[in-house]
A and B are shown apart, each in its own frame.
Chain A
Amino acid sequence: MSSELRALHFQEKKIEEKKVNNKASAFMQVNQLSYRAAFLLVLKRDLTIAMRHKDDIINPLLFFVIVITLFPLGIGPETQTLSRIAPGIIWVAALLATLLSLDRLFKSDHDDGSLEQMLLSPQPVFILVLAKIFAHWLITGLPLILMAPLLAVLLHLNEQSYGALMLTLLLGTPVLSLLGAIGVALTVGIKKGGVLLSLLVLPLYIPILIFATSAIETAALGLPYSGQLAIIAALFFSSLTLAPFAVSAALKISTN
């Protein structure tokens, strides 16, 4: 009698569990966005946030302008000296302005928990990371490029060098954002990672600086500078393809 009852009970339980299981399978839906949609979603979000924190856009740009305008005042207005050092000044200022703005890339997202949510989303992390880096470049890199020719006038940059200046900045500033993102991702979990970040990132920026200034100087002599430009382009494409993966790996370590 009792064993019969137990068997019945067992059967009931099994049916119940089956029901539960069926319902669980109803949960399994495909929630994946297309890569493009995921990219645009994060890009739009980051740009919206930047538009509401205008100082994020203005600060690096202001730094860039101030540093460059101070040089003619400090060195003196001699055209020759200024035009000789102009490529270096513009590029060093662009590099430091980018470094100044890097912290924002993941820091606030890490502090308020939205970074965790991004890592836990069903979208591939490298797409989200790429969108964030692209947004960072639009916010800091692009304004620098637009300001650069005006400031170059201030430094009496050789007329033949403008094309080279714009091209190197156009190819080079995305590399600054991409490489910088790796450093930020590695240091985002550390409370005061500012100094460590510059130590990590600045050595990676040196090749860009060397080839970019060399291209601009070569252009001033009226010689072809496609060699240096090709190297910067190579750096751009390799960091574009590899950096997002490095960043997502680094973020996983930082949030561990």
Chain B
Amino acid sequence: MSTNSIPPLISATNLTCIREERLLFDQLNIAIYAGDIVQVEGSNGSGKTSLLRILSGLSQPYEGDVLFNEKLIGNCREEFHQNLLYLGHLAGVKGAMSAQENLHFNLALHGINNQASDIDCDNDIEATLAQVNLTEFEDSLASHLSAGQHRRIALARLYKSTAPIWILDEPFTAIDKQGIHALEQLFKAHIAQGGCIILTTHQDLFSIGLAQVKRITLDYGVDSDE
């Protein structure tokens, strides 16, 4: 992306992050444009999750700014969150609610699926759950489901998302091979539509066919340790 005519969807300037008196990254500059897929790399504890949390606005950086459409995310919180889908380490799935209720709540909270009538809405959610292979589990309580199925409930949101920016922390954890393949297709479609994806994973994205992956490598903290 050599031309600067199009502003980046999300960018960060001079990010510095310090955790437990360890410098994780220093003066990091990132610009992510529509159509980008960015893989954040680094060994365990190198600050991948911290970076994603800072980019999503959940954590505050020690220094530096995160910009959405060239505006500080703190100044346009609601607009930014309308355009953001963040999935963290934790699936955000309630054990006491069924798969269907979980997905319905998560979608409704982000303003998706509200206009349809209840029956339409239920059918729609069933169809979305079918896309992540949870057809027979719609009504079972999430506490009876496996870790991989929890993750699938969370990932089902991706199929209904209207947000261009996806920030995904280890989306492939506990997902089987077929699931990874489906996700990869979904990522491709999302990029083709002009979205962007920032993710951490220990999967090799080149080998699964996502060729144009950009990389951000975090190794500052690790180097200073050695």
B106: chain A residues at CB < 8 Å are 117
Tell me which of B6, B34, B92 contacts A117 (CB under 8 A). Answer: B92
A202 to B194, CA, bound (A): 52
A20 to B81, Cβ gap below 8 A?
no
Tell me which of B86, B108, B141, B195 contacts A116 (CB under 8 A). Answer: B86
B94 to A49, Cβ gap below 8 A?
yes
A122: chain B residues at CB < 8 Å are 78-79, 81-82, 110-111
Mark A112-123 against chain B: 1 for CB-CB distance below 8 A, else 0. 111011111111
Q: Does B90 contact A (CB under 8 A)?
A: yes
If A20-B34, A31-B112, A256-B60 touch, does A120 touch B81 (CB 8 Å cutoff)?
yes
Mark A18-48 against chain B: 1 for CB-CB distance below 8 A, else 0. 0111111011111111000110011001001
Interface residues of B in 19-60 (CB under 8 A from A): 34-35, 56-60
A27 to B164, Cβ gap below 8 A?
yes
Q: How many A-B residue pairs have CB under 8 A?
A: 121
Q: Does B114 contact A (CB under 8 A)?
A: yes
A224 to B94, CA, bound (A): 48
| Stretch touching chain A among B95-103, B124-132, B179-187, B207-215 | B95-103
A33 to B112, CA, bound (A): 9
A32 to B195, CA, bound (A): 20
Q: Does B163 contact A (CB under 8 A)?
A: yes
**How many A residues have CB within 8 A of the partner chain?**
42
A124: chain B residues at CB < 8 Å are 78
B146: chain A residues at CB < 8 Å are none
B96: chain A residues at CB < 8 Å are 48-49, 52-53
B57 to A120, Cβ gap below 8 A?
yes
Mark A70-114 against chain B: 1 for CB-CB distance below 8 A, else 0. 000000000000000000000000000000000000001001111
B109 to A41, Cβ gap below 8 A?
yes
A13 to B5, CA, bound (A): 12
A30 to B81, CA, bound (A): 11
Tell me which of A27, A111, A114 contacts B163 (CB under 8 A). Answer: A27
Q: Does A17 contact B (CB under 8 A)?
A: yes
Q: Does B140 contact A (CB under 8 A)?
A: no
**In chain B, what residue has the closest Cβ to A13?**
B3
B162 to A121, Cβ gap below 8 A?
no
B83 to A113, Cβ gap below 8 A?
no
A37 to B88, CA, bound (A): 26
Tell me which of A37, A41, A52 contacts B105 (CB under 8 A). Answer: A41
Chain B nearest Cβ from A35, distance in angstroms? 12
A120 to B9, Cβ gap below 8 A?
no
Binding site for A on B (CB under 8 A): 3, 5-6, 9, 34-35, 56-60, 78-79, 81-84, 86, 88-97, 101, 105-106, 108-112, 114, 141, 162-164, 193-195
11 CB < 8 A contacts A-B: A17-B3, A20-B194, A22-B194, A24-B164, A33-B114, A45-B97, A48-B101, A49-B96, A108-B94, A120-B84, A256-B58
Binding site for B on A (CB under 8 A): 13-14, 17, 19-24, 26-33, 37-38, 41-42, 45, 48-49, 52-53, 108, 111-114, 116-124, 255-256
Q: Lowest 8 A-B CB distances belong to which pairs? A: A113-B90, A31-B111, A23-B194, A113-B92, A24-B194, A27-B164, A122-B81, A122-B82
